Amino acid sequence: MCGIVGYTGGRQAAPIILDGLGKLEYRGYDSAGIAVSGARGQIDIVKAKGKLKVLDTLTEGGKRLDGLCGIGHTRWATHGEPSENNAHPHCNTEKTIVAVHNGIIENYSPLKEKLVRRGYTFYSDTDTEVATKLVDYYYKKHGDPLKALSEFALHARGSYALAVLFKDYAGEIFAIRKDSPMVVGYTDGGAYLASDVPAILKYTRNIYYTDNQEIVRLSQDGAVFYNLDGEQIEKEYTVISWNAEAAEKGGWEHFMLKEIHEQPEVVSNTLNYYIQDGRADLSELNLSDEYLRGIDSIIITGCGSAYHVGVVAQYIIEDLARIPVRVEIASEFRYRNPVLTGRELVVVISQSGETADSLAALRGVKEHGVKTLALVNVLGSSIAREADSVFYTKAGPEISVATTKAYSAQLVSMYLLALKIAEARGAIDGVYYNKLTSELSALPGKMKEVLENKSAVQKFASEIMDRGDVFFIGRGIDYAVSIESSLKLKEISYIHSEAYAAGELKHGTISLIEEGTLVFGILTQKALAEKTVSNLVETQSRGAYTAVLASESVQCLPKDCKAVFRIPDCDEHFSASLAVITMQLFAYYISVLRGNDVDKPRNLAKSVTVE
């Protein structure tokens, strides 16, 4: 999605803004632009199609733009093609009001018609130009930026993080947000705003998370917040504990490779934080044993990989805690009319905590009076703030669009939740509980072992990198790993891939298997391995080129497999944590070999804040 950055203070604004936009590149973009209040009171705007580098070169790293206050934007096209004309910032006719925007103004069409009737003309296809001219209209009516933004909020539908420069208020930035992320930071002598913390972390660790429909006024003296009635509101800031280096590549070729290798540490951090005296201590979540005994079922929802974590968790929670679990794709769940009794616990999983569909699903179930738990990585994000309880994963900043370490941190958090629920409901005895927690403690070491095998994965990747279709099959948790493996491969290698529950293949999909089609079988669940092997053999009979990923002690493998990857044995509930690493590496190496932009795959954005 788009990224916005703003700065006002005692330093030249443009280099700071460009630097911040660079940290938001992972959000995906196709054009970029910047606006700075110049020394003579004018607002200078520079925009460029393509990479941020183009804008950087045009402005000589920002040096060509003097001025101490400005806003910048990286655009991921929604309304109108990627072009310089459609790139942000957008402005009113007189160039006295200039804005950048992340999100979608859903009713931009009727708003535009209304403005046209009042004599406005438009130069771009964007909803942001409409937003800017709507602010202009209300500013001309009230002569007050706060009132203009309040009226904007009353009339605009959709999502927005909108930052505006008013020529009459040189040195100040006014911003408002609804359902699109926006953080504000301050230091002595400067104030910053951005779509995400890494953009400004180099300059400040004191961060305010703006709430929906709050207006913020930034000046050299700091940040002042207002509600839509124009009343000043007090807000507490959060001090970010991780440093700017955590969001840098640190010598790795790609963020994805770095983040894959950070997984043992991330899992270890999560376990160390939440396991106290050998027990899953989830007291921060405020889920009492009495409450957990009283619920009838669990619903897990999320999008993409977060949904896939839910699929793994479904098997584990049902098996250990003996309570029904449903997993729902958030973009579907939000539009259903689900039957809810109020005795469910709804778990919303989201790395960013800003995914529009997951947020909408959360709000939907809250309307039914159902208790919600957010499993989120980004501190202070919308989903974290709106859920009844929050379970923070300890993954640190994840930059690569393809999630790896956040997925692993979510998995291990769900294992802990499963243990907690199982214990509270008396579904698990003490001996087994202790065995499982010691198995969990061994996971980081075993993850390191899997990483050591990466050159074999790289070699196999080079052998199959030109194949057109890849199938991943498995049963139970191995099926859940298959869907994540397939998504990972698709999103960064652009190879068509399907994940199938192994037993479901012959109900139609097996007709797609041709001479040379790669079928990857996942075999970590001993009781199910033989069944999946039979399905692999069926594909071999139709010409498939097969590979397997199996736990060390799984002995039954299909003959004539072209590659066999092993992972250490562990309690089978947790094998997804090991298996997924091989599959992440597999997708990563294919993407590199095909010359793709690994961290910023085409058409994708890290944080999907629009529907």
Q: Which residues are catalytic?
A: 2, 606
Closest CB to ligand AGP among residues 180, 352:
352
478: closest CA among 404, 434, 533, 397?
533
Of 86, 204, 301, 305, the one binding ligand AGP (CB under 6 A) is 305
Q: Amino acid identity of 221? A: D
Minimum CB distance to ligand AGP, residue 405 (Å)? 11
Write out the E strands in 361-459. Answer: 371-376, 389-392
Asked if 226 and 232 touch (Cβ cutoff 8 Å), the reply is yes
**Is residue 301 involved in binding ligand AGP (CB under 6 A)?**
no
Q: Which H, E and C letters describe 220-284, residue by residue?
A: CCEEEEECCCCCEECCCCEECCCCHHHHCCCCCCCHHHHHHHCHHHHHHHHHHHHEECCEECCHH
Minimum CB distance to ligand AGP, residue 140 (Å)? 39
Of 301, 350, 524, 535, the one binding ligand AGP (CB under 6 A) is 350
**Interface stretch with ligand AGP, choices 154-162, 297-305, 458-466, 518-526 (CB under 6 A):** 297-305
Any alpha helices (H) in 542-599, and if so which ranges? 576-593
Q: Contacts with ligand AGP in 50-69 (CB under 6 A)?
A: none
Q: Which two tokens stand for residue 318?
A: 């049902």
**Is residue 355 involved in binding ligand AGP (CB under 6 A)?**
yes
Q: Which H, E and C letters describe 440-481, residue by residue?
A: HHHHHHHHHHHHHCHHHHHHHHHHHCCCCEEEEEECCHHHHH
Q: Which two tokens stand for residue 250?
A: 């640190």
Minimum CB distance to ligand AGP, residue 490 (Å)? 10
Report the side by side order of strands in the sheet with 222-226. 90-91, 97-105, 158-166, 173-178, 214-219, 222-226, 232-233
Closest CB to ligand AGP among residues 172, 599:
599
Minimum CB distance to ligand AGP, residue 350 (Å)? 3
**Is residue 105 involved in binding ligand AGP (CB under 6 A)?**
no
Closest CB to ligand AGP among residues 316, 402:
402
Closest CB to ligand AGP among residues 377, 575:
377
Minimum CB distance to ligand AGP, residue 258 (Å)? 15
Query: Which residues, other chains included, contact 397 with Cβ-Cβ below 8 Å and sequence gap of 6+?
Result: 197, 198, 242, 246, 247
Helix (H) / strand (E) element for 564: namely strand 563-567
Minimum CB distance to ligand AGP, residue 233 (Å)? 28
Helix (H) / strand (E) element for 528: namely helix 526-541
Minimum CB distance to ligand AGP, residue 83 (Å)? 26
Q: Which two tokens stand for residue 527?
A: 């009781």
Closest CB to ligand AGP among residues 361, 501:
361
- Burial (CB < 10 A; 0-12, 13-18, 19+), residue 38, is middle
Closest CB to ligand AGP among residues 223, 330:
330
Q: What's the rounded Cα separation, in Å, for the pair 441 and 512? A: 42
Closest CB to ligand AGP among residues 71, 306:
306
Q: Amino acid identity of 38? A: G
Closest CB to ligand AGP among residues 36, 592:
592
**Is residue 401 involved in binding ligand AGP (CB under 6 A)?**
yes
**Interface stretch with ligand AGP, choices 77-85, 401-409, 465-473, 569-577 (CB under 6 A):** 401-409
Residues 481-520, one symbol each (x = binds ligand AGP by CB under 6 A, - = not), give ----------x-----------------------------
**Is residue 351 involved in binding ligand AGP (CB under 6 A)?**
yes
Closest CB to ligand AGP among residues 403, 535:
403
Q: How many CB atoms lie within 10 A of CB 223?
A: 22
Nearest residue to ligand AGP on Cβ basis:
304
Of 146, 306, 399, 567, the one binding ligand AGP (CB under 6 A) is 306
Minimum CB distance to ligand AGP, residue 114 (Å)? 34
**Is residue 358 involved in binding ligand AGP (CB under 6 A)?**
yes
Q: How many CB atoms lie within 10 A of CB 434?
A: 12
Closest CB to ligand AGP among residues 48, 480:
480
**Is residue 44 involved in binding ligand AGP (CB under 6 A)?**
no
Of 263, 352, 408, 486, the one binding ligand AGP (CB under 6 A) is 352
**Is residue 304 involved in binding ligand AGP (CB under 6 A)?**
yes
Q: Which two tokens stand for residue 316?
A: 């584990």
SS3 content of the chain, % helix, strand, coil (to 5): 40, 25, 35
46-79 in b/e burial notation, b at 16+ Cβ within 10 A?
bbbbebbeebbebbeebeebebbbbbbbbbbbeb
* Adjacent-strand bridge partners of 179: 160
**Is residue 524 involved in binding ligand AGP (CB under 6 A)?**
no
**Is residue 402 involved in binding ligand AGP (CB under 6 A)?**
yes
**Interface stretch with ligand AGP, choices 80-88, 246-254, 395-403, 514-522 (CB under 6 A):** 395-403
Of 31, 403, 408, 493, the one binding ligand AGP (CB under 6 A) is 403
Return the residue matching tokens 């632009």: 33
**Is residue 591 involved in binding ligand AGP (CB under 6 A)?**
no
Q: Which two tokens stand for residue 246?
A: 């955590």
**Is residue 536 involved in binding ligand AGP (CB under 6 A)?**
no
Cα Rg, the chain, nearest whole Å: 25
Q: How many residues bind ligand AGP (CB under 6 A)?
A: 15
DSSP 38-106: -TTS-EEEEEEES-HHHHHHHTTTTTT---SEEEEEEE--SSS-SSTTTSSPEE-TTS-EEEEEEEEET
**Is residue 303 involved in binding ligand AGP (CB under 6 A)?**
yes
Closest CB to ligand AGP among residues 262, 572:
262
**Interface stretch with ligand AGP, choices 249-257, 304-312, 314-322, 562-570 (CB under 6 A):** 304-312
Residues that bind ligand AGP (CB under 6 A): 303-306, 350-352, 355, 358, 401-403, 491, 607-608
